[in-house]
Amino acid sequence: MKKLIGIVIAIAVLIVLMYGAEDLPPWADPGQPASLHVSPRYIERAFEETGVPNIVTAVLADYRGYDTLFETAVIFTAGVAVLMLLRRRLP
Amino acid sequence: MIREQEDIIIQTVCRIFIPFMQIYGLYVLAHGHGSPGGGFQGGCIFAASFILMAIAYDLDEVKRRFAEKLNIFFCSLGVFIYAGVGWLCLLLGGNFLDYGKLSVILPIDPVMARYYGIAAVETGVQITVMAIMVSIFLNLVTGGTHEEEMQKTRV
């Protein structure tokens, strides 16, 4: 019985999501809203502004430098947490 | 991890292979400007060389070549380099992480200053990722003891 209820809920959620997905823009559409905000500027001017031929690196480390700084901080925090939880000196 | 019997084939192959892995890790870092790559990937490749060393030899070999105190120092050094470059830009009159202002102290134009600023922060990312990967590996596989217990019972 529980399993049946779960299956019914899953199918209902699937139908709702499929209905919502009707309104999404098609894949790789250059006119979709996500492609019109800052992406054209990155593609057109990343090289002349940063001198880096790889746009991914330019966005990662320059335009989105804060993001990468705190990604590094997250990795640092994870390593220090593992060190604090596990590391112990035997008597 | 500490074995009584050692395999000469595995150890010889790893002794040849590990320097090339480390060179490749640095290549991925240095070539991140023109092709896929960068600090995260290069750091993981560099850390994989130490993990291979721990598997082929033992943990003492890794800790002899890359001491634990140095490892923990490197963990924080990378974040310090990244944030330090950001603060340097702030002190030179720009925004935080605005690498173009580095041209005030470097003999290059602002565009190339951004180029070398990106290289500097990627180096910081590489150092942190490499040290953290090695640290997590050593702590997880030994449960945090670094096999000091086995060394004590063996003596």
Report the alpha-carbon distance of residue A50 to residue B108 in Å, rounded.
Answer: 13
Report domain extents, chain A: 1-29, 38-91
Q: Which residues contact A66 (CB under 8 A, 6 or more apart)?
A: B96, B97
HSE (CB half, 13 Å, CA atoms) of B155? 5
Distance from CA of A33 to the nearest CA of B (A): 27
Nearest-CA residue of chain B relative to A89?
A: B145
Report the alpha-carbon distance of residue B93 to residue B96 in Å, rounded.
Answer: 9
Burial of A9 (0-12, 13-18, 19+ CB in 10 A): exposed
Report the alpha-carbon distance of residue B84 to residue B76 in Å, rounded.
Answer: 12
Three-state SS at B101? helix
End-to-end CA distance of chain A: 55
* pLDDT tens digit at each of 155 positions of chain B: 555 567 888 889 999 999 999 999 999 999 988 888 888 999 999 999 999 998 888 888 888 888 889 999 999 999 999 999 999 999 998 888 888 888 888 888 888 889 999 999 999 999 999 999 999 999 998 888 877 656 655 54
The ipTM, to two decimals, is: 0.85
pLDDT in the model for residue B155: 47
**A52 touching B (Cβ < 8 Å):** yes
Amino acid letter, residue B153: T
φ, ψ at A23 (rounded to 5°)? -90, -5
**B135 touching A (Cβ < 8 Å):** yes
Report domain extents, chain B: 8-154
